[in-house]
Structure 1
Amino acid sequence: MRKDHNYYYPSLESRFELSKSDACFHLLSSKKSKKNLPPSPPKLPFIGNFHQLGLQPHRSLQKLSNEHGPMMMLQFGSVPVLIASSAEAASQIMKTQDMGFANKPMSSIPSRLFFGPKDVAFTPYGEYWRNARSICMLQLLNNKRVQSFSKIREEETSLLLKKIKDSIDNSQVVDLAELFVSMTNDVLCRVALGRKYCDGEEGKKFKTLLLEFVELLGVFNIGDFMPWLAWVNRFDGLNAKVDKVAAEVSTFLEGVIEEHRETKIDDEEEESADFVDILLQVQK
């Protein structure tokens, strides 16, 4: 036992002597557990600790962790959430006890945006996740493949420097934030999709779609924490927007896949294949 912040709590090592089912139960079950849970600040009925997040949740969580320790349990609506705010606690969860915490609760918005979900970052732990992770590590992100994209990174970096130089030569204001975002998008598009989507009307639509997609991933969905209020999203337009963006992303990706199927990759071009080419080969 260690003393900290005027209360006692077991060491992280002893606290994490849990089975896989125990760990998932602590995170996902809304029922009270008889286990020795981490300390928790006082909560209100129905909303739990939502009122303590404030307008800057990261600062609020830091303040709470200073009071209650590097691991604490908060209640967001009906969902208990384990907060780890130290390197030691994060290492225990993500490395030492990784199998116990591999499964994760699914938010309804990512589930609809990622087709079920089928994305490796959101899909539940299991056979599908293991296969998807294996493809990512062995096919998409192995060292040889990453090095093969170095030419793309160099080309886009040179274009960025040229844009900055041209703007300075013409005495124009340089928006570095916009340039860095554009360069990042261009690199990712060339690596993953085979070409850039930044010019003309097509480029504008793609940027708008991408911004809406990323924005929805960060939206607070009250139905995930208070199921009895899920009906609110039918009236505030959130459900309609999610369905619209999901349909547009699906249409866009179908077009990209068809474009790649019509273009065959020669053996000499194997090293320059993008992610879609590689996934189509894996599918075969």
Structure 2
Amino acid sequence: MADFQGYITLFLVLLVSTIVVRAIFKKNRTKVRLPPSPLALPIIGHLHLLAPIPHQALHKLSNRYGPLIHLSLGSVPCVVASSPEIAKEFLKTQEISFLNRPQTAAVDYITYGSADFSFAPYGPYWKFMKKLCMSQLLGGRTLDLLLPVRREELKRFLRVMLKKAEENAAVDVGGKLIILTNSVISRMVMNQRCSEKDGEANEVRKLVTETAELTGKFNLSDYIWFCKNLDLQGFGKRLKEVREKFDTMMERIIKEHEEARKEAKREGDLVKDLLDILLDISEDESSEIRLTRENIKAFILDIFAAGTDTSAITVEWALAELINHPSMMNKAREEIDTVVGKSRLVEESDIVNLPYLQATVKETLRLHPSPLIVRESSEKCTINGYDIPEKTQVFVNVWAIGRDPRHWEEPLEFKPERFLGEEGSRESQLDVRGQHFHLLPFGSGRRGCPGTSLALQVVHTSLASMIQCFEWKLVGGKNGIVDMEEGPGLTLRRAHPLVCVPVARFSPLPI
């Protein structure tokens, strides 16, 4: 009986709280015209509606309440854009009001107080780093100079696959692709592969994975005001361990680089990697902005975190889709055999002559992008007739936009052919670099991804070489069909790894 009375009391408290909160909310709405919103609960607001996978849950809410909705995630006001038209308002028409990214506890700590580039506030430092990225760090000239590094690492990856083929052994495709992308980034950033023998490479990949996980999860301390100084989910200890390990590794690498630079300057033989460029700027007294040690470490963490997971995951999704669509796999393979042949390995310079491969990558990025673009308003503004207050978090649901039936025929179907319309048609002109707001895998505007060119080079050549050199026999799966279920997280990992046995298509392979 006592238990029953307790439940009744709890129910009445929640009911009264909900009525009070809704009354206050309704009163505020008369002063501020907010977008449509579902019923919120006391304290947690709409947090309970985001499970189990946020971008999917937000898509369902938008289908019910419209392309622009308002949510309260705990005490944090948020809006969600789920159509190309609304996305364009945030990312182009009124971009100047949405150039900041939210400062979460995890991101701020792990990036040395937002000393990085990706999450730095919009201002002089961010502008300087953006200009540096586009002109030097990730510009065309630097990428061209580092082409031999990418080619060498790709061949190393293919030789590993060939060994597995000779052993008739199964391979976790995604795991091996992460090793490939991690090695490419490692050599481009600091001109060295992380050592497999002493476990350093595995440690780096683990740090990257943990960083993505910790910065991508909803942390109650960021959204519920009275939890701000509480570590209810145990993030604090894990964040400290990740940053300490990364910091120790980077200090060693920077010191080794500094010694090598001194020796190379004496001998006049210095081949620069990205870390060298950053160190040059930190030592340049005439530089517009002098980079600190923390800036350098945080930027390198950005490069590893952004460049390792996303490219590998995209290639894994693309291969899974082609395995599920054998006729499309054959089309892609025939195109490569016709253009490249079997006597040499496909090169980055071949990609421009492989339209079906390009269409396959575009279709993969449409269906399986990094699902959310996250921004924060720096000032009050009006979007689509609704008021967006200052300090409101903005989620542009790229995943939902890629499935919008108003802009895509059969939006849930994997159809690379949709990008191969007649020359000059709307479909053939679609680009993934942020100019078309119904296809935004790399964001758009000033805060669009600066590593787009590098990512596309790695994704296209990796996928093309895997198609050219091997057949892929699926291990598991029902009736030979790959399970396409998504896992949680910001980078859209697969719920289940893609496990295949590679089978060499010809001998010898040109690797």
Deviation of 1:268 after TM superposition, in Å, equals 7.9
Alignment of 1:163 with 2:144, yes or no, is no
> What is residue 150 of structure 1 aligned with on the other side?
147
Match of 1:215 among 204, 213, 216: 213
Counterparts of 1:1-284 in structure 2, within 5 Å, are 34-201=31-198, 202-233=200-231, 236-264=233-261, 265=264, 272-284=271-283
Deviation of 1:283 after TM superposition, in Å, equals 1.4
For normalisation by structure 1, the TM-score amounts to 0.82
- Unaligned 5+ segments in structure 1 are 1-31
Q: Which amino acid is the alignment partner of residue 254 of structure 1? A: E
Deviation of 1:145 after TM superposition, in Å, equals 0.9
For residues 68-100 of structure 1, the C-alpha deviation after alignment (integer angstroms, 9 at most, x for no partner) is: 211111110000111111222222212222211
> What is residue 29 of structure 1 aligned with on the other side?
none
Whether contact under 8 Å (1:193, 1:276) holds in the other structure is yes
State the alpha-carbon separation in 2 of the partners of residues 147 and 35 from structure 1.
52
For residues 1-57 of structure 1, the C-alpha deviation after alignment (integer angstroms, 9 at most, x for no partner) is: xxxxxxxxxxxxxxxxxxxxxxxxxxxxxxx57343222222112111112122122
Distance 1:118 1:41, change over 3 A: same
Deviation of 1:134 after TM superposition, in Å, equals 1.8
Whether contact under 8 Å (1:213, 1:245) holds in the other structure is yes
The structure that is helix-richer by fraction is 1
Whether contact under 8 Å (1:186, 1:198) holds in the other structure is no
SS in 2 for 1:74: strand
For normalisation by structure 2, the TM-score amounts to 0.47
State the alpha-carbon separation in 2 of the partners of residues 281 and 104 from structure 1.
28
> What is residue 9 of structure 1 aligned with on the other side?
none
SS in 2 for 1:205: helix
Deviation of 1:198 after TM superposition, in Å, equals 4.1
Q: Which amino acid is the alignment partner of residue 53 of structure 1? A: L
Whether contact under 8 Å (2:71, 2:79) holds in the other structure is yes
For residues 115-158 of structure 1, the C-alpha deviation after alignment (integer angstroms, 9 at most, x for no partner) is: 01111111111222112222222221111111212111111111
SS in 2 for 1:200: coil
- Structure of larger gyration radius: 2
Whether contact under 8 Å (1:156, 1:186) holds in the other structure is yes
Name the count of aligned residue pairs: 252
Whether contact under 8 Å (1:40, 1:74) holds in the other structure is yes
Whether contact under 8 Å (2:68, 2:79) holds in the other structure is yes
State the alpha-carbon separation in 1 of the partners of residues 186 and 50 from structure 2.
36
SS in 1 for 2:79: strand
